[in-house]
Amino acid sequence: MEFCPRCKSMMMPAKNVFKCRKCGFEKDIKESFVSTTERKEREVTVLEGREMGMPTIRAKCEDCGNDTAYWWLRQLRSADESEVRFFRCTKCGKTWREYN
């Protein structure tokens, strides 16, 4: 890493010189400049389906009587008011909300 002697900004390599982006000062690259990045393969978990990975709670659905629902929070009103909790039945898919 090289810094400009005039303005102290970081200099970037351009062809065979280091060039300052701020003031335009150029300095020859005396040594070979090599930049390498090592990338490792990684495993990515894919969740399929709309509700995969969502938390569940015991909440009774008024339509089908099921007692398990997915839930999530959303800030719908101003920041000084509480969040709204949404529920979606795991059986029939009905969505409803609860205010605090």
Of the candidates 52, 65, 71, the residue with the CA atom closest to the CA atom of residue 91: 65
Residue written as token pair 């005039």: 6
Annotated active-site residue 80? The verdict is yes
Residues 42/44/45/47 CA torsion (nearest 10 deg): 180
Question: Model-level pTM greater than 0.85?
Answer: no
Q: Which fold has domain 56-97?
A: N-terminal domain of TfIIb (2.20.25)
Spot the catalytic one: 63, 67, 81, 83: 81
User: For the segment 11-44, what is each residue's pLDDT rounded down to a tens digit?
Assistant: 888 878 888 988 989 888 877 656 677 888 888 7
User: Which positions make up the binding site for Zn(2+)?
Assistant: 4, 7, 20, 23, 61, 64, 89, 92
